[in-house]
């Protein structure tokens, strides 16, 4: 498939339209939703950029954290991790678990809400 | 007559019942609210009545809100009156709507001047004094709220800390997503639950956004729809939850102050004595609850019930609470 313009470029073009053409014309609830829409488009751009690398890094961490992970998907490993947390096999006392969860949360938040205060707190430590 | 004219005319009849035939409704403008609950600004002409009033209503057929925890507007009005008797700053309820008045369910209250938008309260210079006064004012207000006897108000349910953990765990599992940080927080909350206190009336949504603030600080406690019998620490912890610090994380209490002066004023006004550490568990509970609430709001988009971009976008705020939960769990590890 051709990618000129690329998906990112197309999203950027729509964001330009929302920010510079649509939003100034809108009032009240519609203006609010336009601002939300613009933020969503920015999230999409960050997601397109970061997802592949974040998923791969998360997958590597999960494989290191969970024994017998050969051939299992990232989704399956996440479910296994969840089940080990629910059963009490992995707790907050596990430094490896906390390190993984923190890295996962940071990567996700950098895409979703990079200005959120909790991200700065996490990055300080 | 248009539907709006009909509505205004019925509303004017209600106001005349309260204030007499010499007054007239000049305008009724909808301010905000969802599909099931509306807030209106009313302006009046004539003597013997305030120039402005606030109407909170649910249109006919919409009385059941989308939140099953909500106590309903008529009960909210009863509680606000009780809070006033307990010395808590609240709007004055001037009339509770009757079914035969034809304007739906709800009540009319006085308009309290001030600001509810958190970012303005936290940043604007004109609220500098307010920010200083708020912690102790909130402590005194909570001590008053927690003393209210709501036994003759229907539909106020009991919901203790551990019961809330289980309720939100159930919601999370029903939604069916796999977000292990929530599982870890839920396990930690269950294992570290504090000894329950005798349930008392709690506001249930005590935070910036739901209080009216003027230049001197707390002007009125609003939005009583989630009131329930529960643990007094819940109200304190909710205001400390990082999502409700609106970016000012370094100030634990609502982004405007420290929790210590709230706790001191709370105890001095007759409330129990708590330490900041006593609030930690409730702070964690708050982040867990808000994260699962965000998941639930996104579900209304996913299910097709609400197609708005706002409902879709809120699903990408769950990670804010995941980050907060990781930060808090790390803190507990080193505690």
Look up the ipTM and state it. 0.96
Do A81 and B180 lie within an 8 Å CB cutoff? yes
Residue A88 pLDDT greater than 90, yes or no: yes
Residue A40 to residue A115: CA distance in whole angstroms: 14
In chain B, whose CA is at the least distance from the CA of A125? B327
Whether residue A56 lies inside any domain: the answer is: yes
Whether residue A1 lies inside any domain: the answer is: no
pLDDT at B307: 93
Residue B134 to residue B261: CA distance in whole angstroms: 9
Do A85 and B317 lie within an 8 Å CB cutoff? no
Cβ-Cβ contacts under 8 Å, B316 against chain A: 40, 43, 112-113
Whether residue A2 lies inside any domain: the answer is: no
Give the tens place of pLDDT for each residue, B142-169: 999 999 999 999 989 999 999 999 999 9
Whether residue A47 lies inside any domain: the answer is: yes
Residue A117 to residue B319: CA distance in whole angstroms: 12
A120 reaches B (C-beta below 8 A): yes
pLDDT at B35: 60
Residue B37 pLDDT greater than 90, yes or no: no
Give the tens place of pLDDT for each residue, B91-128: 999 999 999 999 999 999 999 999 999 999 999 999 99
Of A75, A98, A117, nearest to B242 by CB-CB distance is A117
Whether residue A21 lies inside any domain: the answer is: yes
A20 reaches B (C-beta below 8 A): no
Residue B275 to residue A80: CA distance in whole angstroms: 38
Give the tens place of pLDDT for each residue, A36-69: 999 999 999 999 999 999 999 999 999 999 999 9
pLDDT at A125: 72
Number of domains chain A is built from:
1
Residues B95, B97, B101: CA angle, nearest 5 degrees? 125
In chain A, whose CA is at the least distance from the CA of B331? A92
A78 reaches B (C-beta below 8 A): yes
Residue B239 to residue B255: CA distance in whole angstroms: 9
Cβ-Cβ contacts under 8 Å, B178 against chain A: 75, 78-79, 82
Contact B294, B169 (CB under 8 A): no
Residue B33 pLDDT greater than 70, yes or no: no
Residue B319 to residue A116: CA distance in whole angstroms: 10
Contact B213, B121 (CB under 8 A): yes
A124 reaches B (C-beta below 8 A): no
Whether residue A83 lies inside any domain: the answer is: yes
- The domain of A41 spans 7-124
CA B290 from centre of chain: 13
For chains A and B, count residue pairs whose Cβ atoms are closer than 8 Å: 99
Residues B214, B220, B225: CA angle, nearest 5 degrees? 140
Conformation bin of residue B94: beta by default, left when phi > 0, alpha when psi is -120 to 50: alpha
Whole-angstrom distance between the N-terminal and C-terminal Cα of chain A? 44
> In the structure, what pLDDT confidence band is assigned to residue B34 with cuts at 50, 70 and 90?
low
What structural domains and CATH numbers belong to chain B?
Answer: 3-110 (3.30.200), 118-334 (3.90.1200.10)
Residue A114 pLDDT greater than 60, yes or no: yes
In chain B, whose CA is at the least distance from the CA of A42? B313
């Amino acid at each position: 498939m051709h990618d000129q313009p690329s998906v990112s470029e197309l999203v950027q073009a729509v964001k330009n339209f929302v920010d510079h053409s649509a939003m100034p014309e809108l009032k009240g609830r519609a203006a609010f939703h336009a601002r939300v829409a613009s933020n969503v488009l920015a999230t999409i751009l960050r997601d397109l950029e970061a997802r592949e690398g974040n998923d791969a890094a998360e997958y590597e961490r999960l494989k290191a954290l969970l024994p017998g992970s050969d051939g299992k998907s990232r989704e399956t490993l996440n479910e296994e991790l969840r089940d080990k947390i629910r059963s009490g096999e992995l707790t907050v006392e596990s430094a490896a678990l906390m390190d993984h969860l923190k890295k996962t949360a940071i990567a996700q938040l950098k895409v979703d809400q990079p200005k959120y205060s909790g991200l700065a707190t996490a990055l300080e430590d | 007559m248009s539907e709006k004219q009909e509505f205004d005319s019925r509303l004017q009849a209600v106001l005349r019942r309260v204030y007499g035939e010499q007054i007239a409704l000049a305008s009724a403008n909808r301010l905000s609210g969802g599909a099931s609950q509306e807030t209106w600004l009313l302006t009046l002409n004539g003597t013997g009545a305030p120039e402005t009033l606030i109407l909170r209503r649910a249109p006919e057929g919409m009385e059941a809100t989308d939140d099953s925890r909500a106590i309903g507007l008529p009960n909210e009005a009863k509680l606000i009156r009780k809070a006033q008797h307990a010395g808590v700053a609240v709007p004055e309820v001037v009339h509770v709507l009757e079914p035969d008045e034809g304007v739906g369910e709800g009540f009319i209250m006085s308009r309290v001047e001030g600001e509810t938008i958190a970012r303005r309260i936290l940043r604007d210079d004109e609220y500098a004094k307010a920010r200083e006064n708020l912690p102790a004012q909130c402590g005194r207000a909570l001590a008053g709220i927690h003393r209210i006897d709501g036994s003759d108000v229907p539909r106020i349910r009991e919901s203790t800390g551990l019961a809330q953990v289980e309720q939100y765990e159930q919601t999370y599992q029903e939604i069916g997503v796999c977000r292990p940080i929530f599982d870890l927080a839920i396990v930690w909350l269950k294992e570290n639950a504090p000894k329950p206190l005798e349930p008392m009336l709690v506001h249930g949504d005590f935070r910036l956004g739901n209080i009216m603030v003027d230049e001197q600080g707390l002007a009125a406690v609003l939005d009583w729809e989630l009131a329930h019998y529960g643990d007094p620490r819940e109200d304190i912890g909710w205001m400390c939850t990082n999502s409700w610090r609106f970016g000012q994380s370094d100030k634990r209490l609502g982004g405007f102050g420290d929790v210590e002066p709230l706790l001191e004023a709370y105890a001095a006004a007759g409330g129990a004595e708590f330490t900041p550490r006593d609030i930690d568990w409730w702070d964690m509970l708050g982040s867990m609850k808000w994260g699962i609430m965000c998941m639930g709001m996104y579900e209304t988009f996913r299910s097709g019930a609400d197609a708005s971009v706002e409902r879709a976008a809120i699903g990408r705020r769950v990670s804010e609470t995941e980050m907060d939960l990781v930060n808090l769990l790390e803190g507990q590890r080193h505690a």
